[in-house]
A and B are shown apart, each in its own frame.
Chain A
Amino acid sequence: MTIERNARLRDLAIWGDFFHFTVEAPEIGRAARPGQFVMVKVAEGTTPLLRRPLGIHNANADGLELFFKVAGLGTEILARKKTGDRIDLIGPLGKGFTVPADARGRTAYLVGGGRGIAPLYFLARELVRAGLRPLVLYGGRSLADIPLRERFEASGIPVLCSTDDGSFGYAGLVTELAAAELEKEKPAMIYACGPDPMMKALSAVAAKHGVAAEFSLESIMGCGIGACWGCVHRIKSESGDGWVKICEEGPVFPGERILW
């Protein structure tokens, strides 16, 4: 874990409420694994006081990429940054997705809802490197909610989309799309990141088909490093059910351990 006080931003891209930056933080970029996150200080001063957790969208030896949706004061301030501005961030934090052993040549489903798609691009590329065949199932309220479709396709990763209003792809929930795909083929693993109701429904679908699944949970975080115990979720452990810190033991958990 590194604190990078003065990382330069570039490659700003905007799609409505969604924003993308490349962050020149090579130490964090080199160490990052798919599913991990960074804690970003969005402003000087004390409002907002806390850093914001953001999933790592992509990473390499030059730095990392962030993709986020404006959802409150913190992301609103971040979205006003320009190429050349500097940010202060800590990372990489948490435990990311795991790649199943002996799964070369097999399919993996990556299910993203809205801004939850962010960490799945990094994961998809990692899975390709590991010899798996990722299929992205990407859901949103409307076409404006699924701006990363072309980016996946440009990397040779197939994408099936769903929109609640039917403006693009399957008209309905991405979990319905996933259920339909599972009838056709059983993947080596399902990975998901999105709203809790989406992941809860998907967890049931995955269990029904006997497919292993990993979910990336989201929470307000005080510190991101396991000190404040503010970001807990109900998780099953050998020692019983309890409130487990998302930042430290997660944000990615196996589906069978998460109590929704």
Chain B
Amino acid sequence: MVAEKPVDLRVAVGPLELRNPVLTASGTFGYGLEFAPYMDLARLGGIVVKGLYYGPREGNPPPRLVETPSGLINAIGLQGVGVEAFAEKVLPKLRAVATAVIVNVCGADEDEYVRVVEFLDRQDGIAAYELNISCPNVKKEGACPALSPRTTFDLVKRIKAASRRPVITKLSPNVTSIVEIALAAEEAGSDAVALVNTFLALAVDLETRRPKLGNVYGGLSGPAIKPIALRMVHQVASRLKVPVVGMGGIMTGTDALEFLVAGAAAVEVGTASFVDPDAAVRIVAEIESWCRGHGVAAVRDVIGTLRAA
């Protein structure tokens, strides 16, 4: 019997080398350690930890979650411990895990983003930053730098100048043209872009005629958004030179491979981790199995291979 040759799962996201294309989406994987009882974290391509402001952040009043058909609307409001507590309590344990740790960086204004990056630059064990310019929950109207090419460009430029590590800019889908915003991030020096964040959404309680979420609006994630996310990833990947990290409703290896075919160099698994804590490592195994079954020796050969209709 001849041993099957293992599938080469390695991918590169710009300067960032990943052991496989599956990352965990920020905000759906806590600070990573919450999932250690359920999986070997080293089997992940990387962990993108929950968005961090400089200081601790309170978050929104409940209810914070509403389930919708094949979807979930959340309005957590980026509650979190802040970078100092993260560096002291979480990062030393994450350093022991042989996978890429990517920190999702938040800020109430440009200066705070810079302070977060400057602080994290002094810590070891971080592979890259994911710039969260697109969380729609921080202000009620969903305002954020990702809504305009100009504010995106200015912020990415400042962060790139401040950072010694690769920067992945995470984009909002709640814009007229996500391609324009992506191009602005690229022009400002972003090493990659990640998309999509959640879709701004509303759930109504008919009997009380009140919003179902404490914050009124929230962000829709889950399988319901996958086709729109795929379209956006394809559009952006077709126009940008820098790599795209794709996400939006990925529940299976098949979903993840569709994003790769559409042009993503890597993917992030989000809401699926709530349903199955070990979803991301299952998806790694499913990608490998699909590649083996289709005679694909290296998963990177699948990236951007969408054929004409």
Contact = CB atoms under 8 A, between A and B. Distances in A.
B277 A228 contact: no
A7 interface: no
Contacts of B61: 243
Contacts of B27: 228
Given A48-B67, A227-B35, A233-B62, A222 B277 contact: no
Interface string B265-299: 00000010111111000000000000000000000
Interface in B5-23: none
A232 B64 contact: yes
B282 to A, nearest CB: 11
Given A3-B38, A222-B65, A46 B70 contact: yes
A47 B70 contact: yes
By CB atoms of chain B within 10 A, which of A47, A90, A219 has the most?
A: A47
A50 B59 contact: no
Given A50-B275, A220-B63, A227 B223 contact: no
What's the dominant secondary structure at chain B's contact region? loop
Contacts of A49: 67, 70-72, 222-223, 271, 275
By CB atoms of chain B within 10 A, which of A1, A41, A220, A221 has the most?
A: A220
A50 B251 contact: no
B206 to A, nearest CB: 15
Interface string B181-204: 000000000000000000000000
By CB atoms of chain B within 10 A, which of A219, A232, A233 has the most?
A: A232
Interface residues of B, number: 35
Contacts of B271: 49
B34 A226 contact: yes
Contacts of B62: 219, 231-233, 243
* Residues of A in contact with B, size category: 20 to 34
Given A3-B277, A49-B275, A50-B274, A227 B29 contact: yes
A230 interface: yes
Contacts of B76: 228-230
Contacts of A3: 38, 276-278
A103 interface: no
B151 interface: no
What's the dominant secondary structure at chain A's contact region? loop
Contacts of A223: 273-274, 277
Contact of B275 (A1, A41, A230, A242): A41
Nearest to A46: B70
B58 interface: yes
B222 A229 contact: no
B79 interface: yes
B74 A243 contact: no
A3 B251 CA distance: 18
Contact of B65 (A220, A225, A226): A220
A51 interface: yes
Contacts of A229: 30, 50, 59, 64, 76, 79
30 contacts: A1-B37, A1-B38, A3-B276, A47-B69, A49-B222, A49-B223, A50-B67, A50-B72, A50-B274, A50-B275, A51-B274, A220-B65, A223-B274, A225-B34, A225-B35, A225-B277, A227-B28, A227-B29, A227-B273, A227-B274, A228-B28, A228-B30, A228-B274, A229-B59, A230-B64, A230-B76, A231-B62, A232-B79, A242-B58, A243-B62
Interface of A: 1, 3, 41, 46-51, 90, 219-223, 225-233, 242-243
Interface of B: 27-30, 34-35, 37-38, 50, 58-59, 61-67, 69-72, 74, 76, 79, 222-223, 251, 271, 273-278
Given A3-B38, A233-B62, 15 more contacts: A1-B37, A3-B277, A49-B271, A49-B275, A51-B274, A220-B63, A222-B65, A227-B29, A227-B273, A227-B274, A229-B50, A229-B59, A230-B64, A230-B65, A231-B64
